[in-house]
Amino acid sequence: MSVAIDSPVANDSNLKVPFLWRFRPQYFHKIWGGDRLQVFLKKDVGGLKQCGESWELSDVPPNPSQVAEGPCEGMSLPDVLHRFGSQIMGKQWTATGTSVTRFPLLIKFLDAREDLSVQVHPNDVLAQERHGCPGKTEMWYVLEAEPEATLITGFRGEMDPETYTRMLQAGRIMEMLNQEPVAAGDVFFIPAGRIHTIGRGIVLAEIQQSSDITYRLYDFDRVDERGERRELHTEEAIDALDFRKYNSYRTSYSEAGDAPVELVNCPYFRTFLLKLTRPMERVGHDHLSFRVYMAVQGSGYLEAGDEHMEMKLGDTVLVSAQAGCTRITPGFQGLSLLETGLPALNSVVA
C-alpha cells in the first residue's frame, strides 16, 4: 500500500512527526546472490531465490522504500520527505538550498554467493550528463566472509587507458586488478571511478549515494537463467575509470569499545562504528543531520524522545534530525551499529 501525499495521513496537521523510522526492506534476485540474507540476517525474502540485495532505505526510482510501521505506515520515502523533509533531513541539508525531495543515500545489505561483475560507477558530473542522476560513491563494511574470501578494488599497478584497453581486449583484465583478502569487520571505501567487485562468500553492508548506475566491464563469461550473457558497458566505462594506482585500498581503523570510531568521512556521508556493551547517547548538534543506524552484530534498542525501536542484526532505522539525542542500549551480548549521516554530522558521546 502506498499513501499519496494528499492523503489524510500525509496532510494531518496534528500528526506528530516520528523520530524513529523503520522501512520495509526490498529484496532483489541477483545472478550472484545466495541465501545468507535469509539464513544469517534472518530476512523474510518471501521465497526469492538467489537473493543478492536487501535495499533497506531507498529513494532510487522506481524502488522507493515504504514506511513499515507507526502513524505513517505505508507512505513512501518520497512522500515522507515531501511532507516532513526539513524535520527529517536537518539543517545541514536545508542550509544548502537543496529542495528536500530526494533522500541522498541508498542503504543495502548484500550477499555474494558468487563473484559480482567487475564494474565501475560514474562520478556526479558524468552520471548527471548521461543519466540525469547522482554518481555513485560507496563504502562496504564486511559482516561475514568465508575463509580465503577476497574482493577487488583498484588497479595493482600503474595503468593508462591504452594499456587497459589492450589488456581488456586480450582477456587479461584480471591481471590488472588489485585483490584484497577479506574478513569480518573489514572496511573498504569505493569512490566513483574505482574499478571493483565483491568476491564470493561475502556478506556486507553498503552505504552509497542514491544511485544505481553501474558500468559492467567483465562478468566471468557466465550466463543467466535464459542462457544469455549480461550486457557489458566497455565503452561507457572508459570515461568513468580512475586509472591511478593508490598505495592502499583498505580503510584502516582501530576498534574502540563503547566509543564511536570514524570509518569514512567523504563529501556524501560520514560513517561511524559503534561497538557497545553499555548504553550510549548520541547527540546530533543543532539538528544538523538525520542519522541511519544499521545493526551489524548483536541486538538492543534505540530511544528518541518517547519512542523506542528494537534493533537486531540486519535491522536499519532512520532517526530524524529533529530527534536531537538518541539513546542506544545494547542487549546482553552487546550491539554493534554503523551510524551514518551527512558529512557535517557532529555527533558526540553525551
Q: What share of the chain is helix, strand, coil (3-state, %, to 5)?
A: 15, 40, 45
Distance between CA atoms of 95 and 104, rounded to whole angstroms? 15
- How far apart CA 299 and CA 112 sit, in angstroms, is 24
Sign for the CA dihedral angle at 49, 53, 55, 58 comes to negative
pLDDT score at 226? 84
Q: Per residue of the chain (350 residues), give pLDDT as tens.
A: 333 444 445 456 677 889 999 999 999 999 999 999 999 999 999 999 999 999 999 999 999 999 999 999 999 999 999 999 889 998 777 666 555 568 999 999 999 999 999 999 999 999 999 999 999 999 999 999 999 999 999 999 999 999 999 999 999 999 999 999 999 999 999 999 999 999 999 999 999 999 999 999 999 999 887 888 999 999 999 999 999 999 999 999 998 989 999 999 999 999 999 999 999 999 875 568 899 999 999 999 999 999 999 999 999 999 999 998 999 999 999 999 999 999 864 433 33
Q: CA-CA distance, 301 to 332, in Å (whole number)?
A: 12
What is the C-alpha separation between 347 and 324, in angstroms, rounded?
10
Catalytic choice (22, 194, 216, 282):
216
Question: What pLDDT, on a 0 to 100 scale, did the predictor assign at position 123?
Answer: 98
Q: Is 230 among the catalytic positions? A: no
Q: What is the CA radius of gyration of the chain?
A: 20
Angstrom distance (rounded) from CA 251 to CA 186 = 8
Give bridge partners of residue 301 from the DSSP assignment: 310, 329
- With a CB cutoff of 8 Å and minimum separation 6, the contacts of 140 are 151, 186, 187, 188, 190, 198, 204, 205, 206
What is the pLDDT at residue 129? 97
Domains, the chain, ordered by start: 8-238 (2.60.120.10), 261-349 (2.60.120.10)
User: Cα–Cα–Cα angle for 255, 257, 258, nearest 5°?
Assistant: 130
For the entire predicted model, the pTM comes to 0.93
- Cα distance between residue 135 and residue 208, in whole Å: 10
Residues with Cβ < 8 Å from 18, sequence gap 6 or more?
70, 71, 72, 307, 320
